[in-house]
Amino acid sequence: MPERRTTRQLQAIRSVIAEAGRPLSIPEIHELAMETVETLGLRTVYRTVRRLEETGEVAPVSVPGGSDRYELSSVAAQHHHHFHCTACDRFFDIHGCPGGLNKLLPEGFTLQQHELILSGLCATCS
C-alpha cells in the first residue's frame, strides 16, 4: 500500500486529538479541526479518523449506547477509565483504578479485564 501524503486536514485532525487531553467524538474533532482548516468536511473527518485507527495512531473508546470517542493509542495503552458528563456529553480520562474488583465477583469467577465509565456533571456543567 503506498504511503499517503500528509495533508493540512490530516495534520489538523491529528493535532486536535493529540492536544485534547480527553477522548473526542467525530463531531468534536470536526468542530475543533475547523478552527485550523475552515473548509474541512465531516466526511473527511470520518475517513481520516478511520485511517488513523487502521494505522494504530488512534484508538476508539467504546461508549455504551452511543458513538465511539477517539484518543491517541499511546493514551489508550495506559490503563485508565472515563468520566461521561451527562449534560455536555463529553468524556474525560480518569487516571487510576479503584482496584479490588475481584471482591465483587461471584465465587469461582475470574476477572480478566474491566472498563469503568463514571457519569455525572463535569466541572463546567456543575
Domain count, the chain: 1
Burial of 12 (C-beta count, 10 Å sphere; 0-12/13-18/19+): buried
Q: What is the CATH number of the domain that holds 38?
A: 1.10.10.10
This prediction has a pTM of 0.85
pLDDT in tens, 22-66: 999 999 999 999 999 999 999 999 999 999 999 999 999 998 888
Q: Which domain holds residue 25?
A: 8-120
- Establish if 98 belongs to a structural domain: yes
In a domain, 36, yes or no: yes
Q: Provide mean pLDDT across the span 11-15.
A: 96
Residue-by-residue DSSP string for 17-40: HHHHSS-B-HHHHHHHHTTT-TT-
Q: Decide if 37 is inside a domain.
A: yes
CB 84 within 8 A of CB 63: yes
Question: Grid cell 452511543 — which residue?
Answer: 66
CA dihedral 86, 27, 57, 116 (to 10 degrees): 10
Query: For residue 126, is it within any domain?
Result: no
Residue 1 placed within a domain: no
Domain presence at residue 125:
no
